[in-house]
């Protein structure tokens, strides 16, 4: 999640950046309206936090310029002025929401999450035991440790995790993960499963990726073949 923060007060900017970074957001700061607008146009941001009172170009001008040029990145206006007029103006010009300064940091976080959710930019997190998969950042972690996966390994793991505790066949995997409409007839899938297993399970007491011989694979906290309910 990449956020552009357009804020001229260095102290406030640092405070917000630090807080957002702690929540896992990556934050770029622009200290005036002109730079903010340039960055907003060139950068790939999920959200823009835009102060209203800014040097060179105020927040409304930036908002207006971006929206008239079709930049659709969601914008949350930060305004020190609580005048209703400001707020209406901001929302009229295509801001998603506004927040009046001073604000509680938790309030800012809640607004950001709500906008990202509405925009469909919020990640889907799959969890199984201590394994976690974030489909937006395409990061996998086990017990909090990042696991370095290739794009294909990630897709394979994602498919398994979308179908937890269910046997998936090689044919299914070759269709869903590789896009083949036929059985590739090679051991390509087994090779990938082995790589994935090494990365996910090696060094962990609990094995998550299981093989049902001659049938396929599944991901589970338990070895289902043993029929154990423990």
Of 19, 11, 12, 50, the C-alpha closest to 32 is: 50
Neighbours of 172 (CB within 10 A): 16
Of 68, 10, 7, the C-alpha closest to 35 is: 7
CB of 188 to Ca ion, least distance (A): 56
| Nearest CB to Ca ion, comparing residues 51 and 153 | 51
| Nearest CB to Ca ion, comparing residues 80 and 191 | 80
Alpha-carbon gap, residue 174 to 184, rounded angstroms: 7
Of 115, 66, 57, the C-alpha closest to 94 is: 66
Count residues binding Ca ion (CB under 5 A): 3
Residue among 19, 32, 39, 53 that touches Ca ion (CB under 5 A): 53
Residue in the shown chain whose Cβ atom is closest to Ca ion: 53
Task: Judge contact between 90 and 69, C-beta under 8 A.
Answer: no
DSSP classification of residue 224: G
| Span near Ca ion by CB under 5 A; candidates 22-30, 45-53, 107-115, 169-177 | 45-53
Residue among 51, 86, 96, 158 that touches Ca ion (CB under 5 A): 51
Residues 91-120 that bind Ca ion (CB under 5 A): none
CB of 16 to Ca ion, least distance (A): 12
Helix locations, 47-102, DSSP H: 59-68, 84-92
Alpha-carbon gap, residue 193 to 198, rounded angstroms: 9
Q: Assess 12 for contact with Ca ion (CB under 5 A).
A: no
Alpha-carbon gap, residue 77 to 99, rounded angstroms: 6
Task: Judge contact between 175 and 169, C-beta under 8 A.
Answer: no
Alpha-carbon gap, residue 35 to 6, rounded angstroms: 8
| Span near Ca ion by CB under 5 A; candidates 6-14, 57-65, 100-108, 184-192 | 6-14
CB of 52 to Ca ion, least distance (A): 7
Residue among 6, 8, 78, 128 that touches Ca ion (CB under 5 A): 8
Site string for Ca ion, 154-193 (x = CB under 5 A): ----------------------------------------
Residues that bind Ca ion (CB under 5 A): 8, 51, 53
């Amino acid at each position: 999640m990449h956020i552009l923060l357009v804020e001229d007060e260095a102290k406030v900017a640092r405070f917000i950046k630090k807080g957002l970074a702690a929540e896992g957001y990556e934050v770029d700061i622009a200290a005036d309206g002109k730079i903010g607008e340039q960055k907003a146009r060139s950068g790939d941001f999920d959200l823009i936090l835009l102060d209203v009172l800014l040097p060179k170009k105020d927040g409304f001008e930036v908002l207006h310029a971006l929206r008239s040029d079709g930049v659709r990145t969601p914008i949350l206006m930060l305004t020190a002025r609580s005048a209703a007029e400001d707020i209406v103006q901001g929302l009229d010009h295509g801001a998603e929401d506004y927040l009046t300064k001073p604000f509680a940091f938790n309030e800012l976080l809640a607004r950001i999450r709500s906008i990202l959710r509405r925009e469909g930019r919020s990640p889907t997190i799959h969890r199984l035991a201590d394994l976690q998969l974030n489909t937006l950042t395409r990061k996998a972690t086990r017990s909090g440790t990042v696991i370095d996966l290739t794009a294909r390994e990630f897709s394979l793991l994602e498919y398994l995790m979308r179908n937890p505790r269910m046997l998936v066949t090689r044919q299914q995997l070759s269709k869903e993960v590789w896009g083949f409409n036929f059985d590739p007839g090679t051991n390509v899938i087994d090779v990938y499963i082995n790589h994935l297993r090494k990365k996910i399970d090696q060094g962990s007491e609990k094995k998550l990726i299981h093989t049902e011989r001659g049938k396929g694979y599944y991901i589970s906290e338990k070895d289902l073949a043993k029929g154990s309910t423990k």
